[in-house]
A and B are shown apart, each in its own frame.
Chain A
Amino acid sequence: EAGVAQSPRYKIIEKRQSVAFWCNPISGHATLYWYQQILGQGPKLLIQFQNNGVVDDSQLPKDRFSAERLKGVDSTLKIQPAKLEDSAVYLCATGTGNSPLHFGNGTRLTVT
């Protein structure tokens, strides 16, 4: 089966610019997560979707981050405007029921 696809693989932007990341889940996976992983740390959950509805966005900095999952399939995560501390790897993970999560390889964002 095809894995979780993320793009772009790398992105470099200047602070105050905007950026968007895209995730294509494994077919049939209803649950989709976005994680932020700062260098040297474990991934931190930003938002969880169940189909196209938000289940948990308590750790999403809503003043600058937004995410959507139209039609319950692909998802995009946007940052506007970016800050230096947003430099991190943004991971998308998908799953179904109580099954283990499948992670993509992430988008590495560098904000200068």
Chain B
Amino acid sequence: DAKTTQPNSMESNEEEPVHLPCNHSTISGTDYIHWYRQLPSQGPEYVIHGLTSNVNNRMASLAIAEDRKSSTLILHRATLRDAAVYYCSRQGGGGADGLTFGKGTHLIIQP
């Protein structure tokens, strides 16, 4: 089972960048890397995903290691609304399979 591992929690200050790491050392060549975040009493919300190249969108950036064994989600300027549990997950089958989630990182933002 190709699992993802993340730190249990991280803390950052408001308006500073946040780098959330994820290890997926057993990922296969066609597995996508996805990041979702979850607020209390809500379902997970999509943040970003990628396969090999670094990706940017309006919410965040995803930096994928050259060997694809790890990745980092980058929030460029954290706000209090970014406080959530962030899940790094893999999607097999070239993007056709369901997501396999890790245990997530609880991100705490200090004002």
- A-side residues, CB < 8 A to B, are 4, 33, 35, 40-45, 48, 56, 91, 93, 97-98, 100-106
Contacts and interface: CB of A to CB of B under 8 A. Distances in A.
Given A48-B97, A100-B34, A42 B87 contact: yes
Given A33-B98, A48-B98, A56-B98, A42 B104 contact: yes
Chain A interface secondary structure, helix, strand, loop or mixed? loop
Nearest to B95: A98
B42 to A, nearest CB: 5
Interface stretch (B13-21, B44-52, B65-73, B75-83): B44-52
Contacts of B89: 42
Nearest to B8: A40
A32 to B, nearest CB: 10
A104 B41 CA distance: 10
Contacts, number: 50
B87 A106 contact: no
A4 B89 CA distance: 20
Contacts of B104: 42
A102 B87 contact: no
Contacts of A103: 36, 43-45
A42 B95 contact: no
Nearest to A41: B103
Nearest to A3: B43
Nearest to A97: B95
B100 interface: yes
B46 to A, nearest CB: 4
A56 B95 CA distance: 14
Contacts of A35: 98
